[in-house]
Amino acid sequence: MAKMERNRRTLLQGAAWLGAAYTTAGWRRLAEAAEAPITVGFIYVGARDDYGYNQSHADAAAEVKKMPGIKVVEEENVPETQAVQKSMQGMISQDGATLLFPTSFGYFDPHMLAVAAKNPTVRFAHCGGLWTAGKHPANTGSFFGYIDEAQYLNGVVAAHATKSLKLGFVAAKPIPQVLRNINAFTLGARSVNPKITTTVIFTGDWSMPVKEAEATNSLIDQGIDVITMHVDGPKVIVETTAKRGKLVCGYHASQAKLAPQAYLTGAEWNWITAYKTIIDAAHTGKPHPNFVRGGLKEHFVKTSAYGPAVSEGARKQADGVKARMLAGKFDIFTGEMKDNTGKVVIPKGTTLKQTDVNLESMNWLVDGVIGKA
Amino acid sequence: MPSTVVRLWPHRIEALVLPLLALVTALLLFGLFVTIGDHSASQAWQLLFLGAFGDAFSWQNTLQRAAPLMLTGLCVALPARAGLVVIGGEGALVLGGLAAAVLPQMVPGLGGASGKLALLLAAAVSGGSWIALAGWMRQARGVNETISSLLLSYLAIALFKHLVEGPLRDPASLNKPSTLPLGDALQIGSIGTYDVHWGLAWGLSACLVSAVWLAFTTHGFATRIVGGNARTARLIGLPTQTLVITACAVGGACAGLAGGIEVMAVHTAANAALISGFGYTGILVSFVARHRPLAVIPVAILFGGFGAAGSLLQRRMGLPDASVQVLLGFSFVLILASDGLQGRIAGALNRWLDQREARRPSATPPITPPGTAA
């Protein structure tokens, strides 16, 4: 009995000590978080001013710089090799960064995971949506946006602008993310006029300026009069289209400056929303948000302001769809949906919500797309 | 008065001083460039040193970046010593990487040291045969090897992409098409506790072995004769065809090895990230090293250092990545241009020594071997 008594006392004592230790540790961490400014690192695979993917991140990073208590370090043109591992480690060891944003898709595996394993106290937020609970460590995470919503709106606007009823899409690689954009764009256009087709050309890689120009010219030679894209830097495609007197919808960032007359609208990222969520958590010592996603409604993506060539009817219809998307009452991928070989890919009565994982392994092109996935 | 004594060391000093002078000039020019851009030149110089060689982390950063460049540098240097300008190392590298990634799928159960060696061998053989093909086309069909190796490299990259994104694609690699990942047993780790993988050891050994081969073996000597004058080589009965193709194959094997190591130590699978330009940077490395395998080592380290330093310059000073490219451009144009000064420093040194000796009355008359007077 006495023994048990003692046991209980030591246990209680132990628990009290543990509790006190945890509380003070918690306080200390909180105090530290409130006082010390944190250093945040951003890494881009291309140039910061590429009028595309990398610029969309760099623009948001410029916003982060204005936030109080945050120091930003940046690096551009970092390839997906050992170089990015060294850049991440350098930001940690040389600059004291405690939160990193490796923004290129290919940085995740193996590079970010390797560096994260060596630095368990540093937070890593990868852009691309690959993080899986249980499989990847808690100090890593990923964020992404449902930009296909904005591509759908691109399609609606493009459908009103086309005279030949032929649209063009210059894409990098036939991977799920890209196919989803091509399909959303085509579905948006065909919601206006079901006779419209989208012709796709894959260039084979993310940054191929010469091939992108060739693809654009070839599409226009086929009678296509509105073009959009999914490549890292849409600059060349936008400029080429404008030079040929055709119209263009942008992607990643606004390219309106490059072609003020030919630019209709565009699907843009709004990374600052995701950045703020993740940085705030790091600043206040809350757990690292591992899985951050959103679309138009959550302000993860946005659309460019309409250009002068967009008709009143087009604005009205696109704004109508956008309002329904913002209210969470619009689904892009609803059954029955057939691919361009006639196969049913979404059965009747089924609706794939944006969060549906089936959409992330998309390997088909919807009816109305001319091209092969 | 022309020098009458053959002295080797003035030439050795010159070989060291000339590139150093070029580098210092490049750094000065870079400082000027940075100042024009409204940044502090002294801070830039300080960061360059700190980022490349300042502490243990910087050294590991530099050496890690240098490792693949030693191997791709050899891919240009070795054929060059046999008289060929091969610039298609990138193709050999990606094919080497592909071979290393695919072999375990064809031969299951590979593992341990022997399995790793088998993968590296597969990488070397595929890279070697690709460059040997360019060499053979030159020897047998008279196709210009510079053009053909470059075109073969485009072909290799297209083939690589087709296979990785098509038949060999791991279905689980959705948005980053890759081959099936290598198991842990086939991956190459770091050297001890350092953050540098064993690829560095392979790069260093390849450079050393190549240097020994060229300098001290009959085969290497014969290869250099072919490179010096192919007609003379044929006249004295050397098998020029075989020698040239062998040099190409060995060079290609080095680049293939680089690809295999990239896959086994870094990427764990073959994917488009492998096509990152190491093969093309190797061309610069080799030309700056004047195609000497031993010189490839410090030049590759210099290149790695520029990369590492550029990383820090961007982060600390907010300079664009292009600024390091400017420094790189200054350095290499000046190093290559300093070739034009070859013989000047050595000549001046010799003249000075001659005069000094002439002033000394008790000096024994210099021995002049016949036919060596400058």
B119 within some domain: yes
Write the CB contacts of B118 (distance below 8 Å, at least 6 apart in sequence). B103, B107, B110
Quick check: A309 and A261 in contact, CB under 8 A? yes
B357 within some domain: no
Q: Which residues pair with A123 in a beta bridge?
A: A99
Quick check: B135 and B78 in contact, CB under 8 A? no
CA angle A228, A231, A234 (to 5 degrees): 60
B46 CA to chain A: closest CA distance, Å? 14
Look at A76 and B321 and tell me if their CB atoms are within 8 Å: yes
| pLDDT score for A368 | 96
- Chain B, nearest residue to A48 by Cα: B320
Question: How many C-beta atoms lie closer than 10 Å to residue A123's C-beta?
Answer: 25
> What percentage of residues in chain A have a pLDDT greater than 90?
84
pLDDT tens for the 374 residues of chain B, in order: 454 567 888 888 888 888 889 989 999 999 999 999 899 999 999 999 999 999 999 999 999 999 999 999 999 999 999 999 999 999 999 999 999 999 999 998 888 899 999 999 999 999 999 999 999 999 999 999 999 999 999 999 999 999 999 999 998 888 899 999 999 999 999 999 999 999 999 999 999 999 999 999 999 999 999 999 999 999 999 999 999 999 999 999 999 999 999 999 999 999 999 999 999 999 999 998 989 999 999 999 999 999 999 999 999 999 999 888 899 899 888 988 888 888 888 888 888 888 888 887 655 555 555 554 44
Q: Which residues pair with A101 in a beta bridge?
A: A42
Which residues in A lie closer than 8 A to residue B62 (C-beta atoms)? none
Chain A residues touching chain B at CB-CB below 8 Å: 41, 47-48, 73-83, 85-87, 89-91, 93-95, 105-106, 108-110, 128, 130, 173-177, 204-205, 360-361
Look at A81 and B61 and tell me if their CB atoms are within 8 Å: no
Q: Which residues pair with A171 in a beta bridge?
A: A202, A230
Amino acid at A291: F
In terms of C-beta density within 10 A (0-12 exposed, 13-18 middle, 19 or more buried), how is residue B238 classed? Answer: middle
Q: Indicate which of A45, A73, A74, A80 best probes the interface with B, i.e. most B CBs within 10 Å of its own CB.
A: A80
- What range defines the domain where residue B106 resides? 68-284
Look at B176 and A106 and tell me if their CB atoms are within 8 Å: yes
Listed residue (B286, B283, B305, B282) closest to B294, CA to CA? B286
Quick check: A114 and A129 in contact, CB under 8 A? no
B231 within some domain: yes
Both tokens of A351, joined, read 């609706």
Which residues in A lie closer than 8 A to residue B276 (C-beta atoms)? 79-81, 83
- Chain A, nearest residue to B176 by Cα: A106
B40 within some domain: no
DSSP A110-136: IIIHHHHHH-TTSEEEEETS---TTTS
B332 CA to chain A: closest CA distance, Å? 21
Candidate from A73, A95, A205 with C-beta closest to B272? A205
CA angle B305, B309, B312 (to 5 degrees): 150
| pLDDT score for B338 | 87
In terms of C-beta density within 10 A (0-12 exposed, 13-18 middle, 19 or more buried), how is residue B169 classed? Answer: middle
Candidate from A86, A91, A110 with C-beta closest to B64? A86
Listed residue (A277, A104, A302) closest to A206, CA to CA? A104
- Chain B, nearest residue to A49 by Cα: B320
Q: Indicate which of B314, B317, B326 best probes the interface with A, i.e. most A CBs within 10 Å of its own CB.
A: B314
Amino acid at B334: L
Look at A82 and B266 and tell me if their CB atoms are within 8 Å: yes
Q: Give the CA dihedral B342, B343, B348, B350, nearest 10 degrees.
A: 140
Q: Which residues pair with A38 in a beta bridge?
A: A70
pLDDT averaged over every residue in chain A: 91
Look at A83 and B307 and tell me if their CB atoms are within 8 Å: yes
Quick check: A88 and A66 in contact, CB under 8 A? no
B193 CA to chain A: closest CA distance, Å? 12
DSSP B34-85: HHHTTS-HHHHHHHHHIIIIISHHHHHHHHHHHHHHHHHHHHHHHHHHTT--
Tokens 């049913």 correspond to what residue?
A344
Which residues in A lie closer than 8 A to residue B266 (C-beta atoms)? 81-82, 85, 110
B39 within some domain: no
pLDDT greater than 60 at residue A24: no
B33 within some domain: no
B204 within some domain: yes
pLDDT tens digits, residue range A57-106? 999 999 999 999 999 999 999 999 999 999 999 999 999 999 999 999 99
Look at A81 and B262 and tell me if their CB atoms are within 8 Å: yes
Q: How confident is the model at residue A260 (pLDDT cuts 50, 70, 90)?
A: very high
| pLDDT score for B356 | 87
* Number of domains chain B contains: 1
Which residues in A lie closer than 8 A to residue B57 (C-beta atoms)? 89-90, 93-94
A373 CA to chain B: closest CA distance, Å? 11
DSSP B82-99: TT-----HHHHHHHHHHH
What is the C-alpha to C-alpha distance for residues B311 and B321, in angstroms, rounded to an integer?
8
Q: How confident is the model at residue A43 (pLDDT cuts 50, 70, 90)?
A: very high
pTM for this one?
Answer: 0.87
**What is the longest distance spanned by two Cα atoms in chain A?**
95
B113 within some domain: yes
